[in-house]
Amino acid sequence: MKEFLIAILQKFGWACWLEITTEQPACTYYFGPFLRSHEAIAAKAGFIEDLLSEGAEIKSVVIKRCRPQNLTIEKNPGGANDRGKTSNLAGQTNISG
| Percent over 90 (pLDDT), the chain | 72
pTM listed for this prediction: 0.76
Confidence (pLDDT) at 31 = 98
Q: Strands of the chain (E only): list them.
A: 16-24, 27-34, 57-65, 72-74
Query: What phi and psi values does residue 57 have, to the nearest 5 degrees?
Result: -105, 110
The answer to whether 45 and 61 have CB atoms below 8 angstroms apart is: no
What are the domain boundaries of the chain?
A: 2-74
CA gyration radius, the chain:
13
The answer to whether 17 and 32 have CB atoms below 8 angstroms apart is: yes
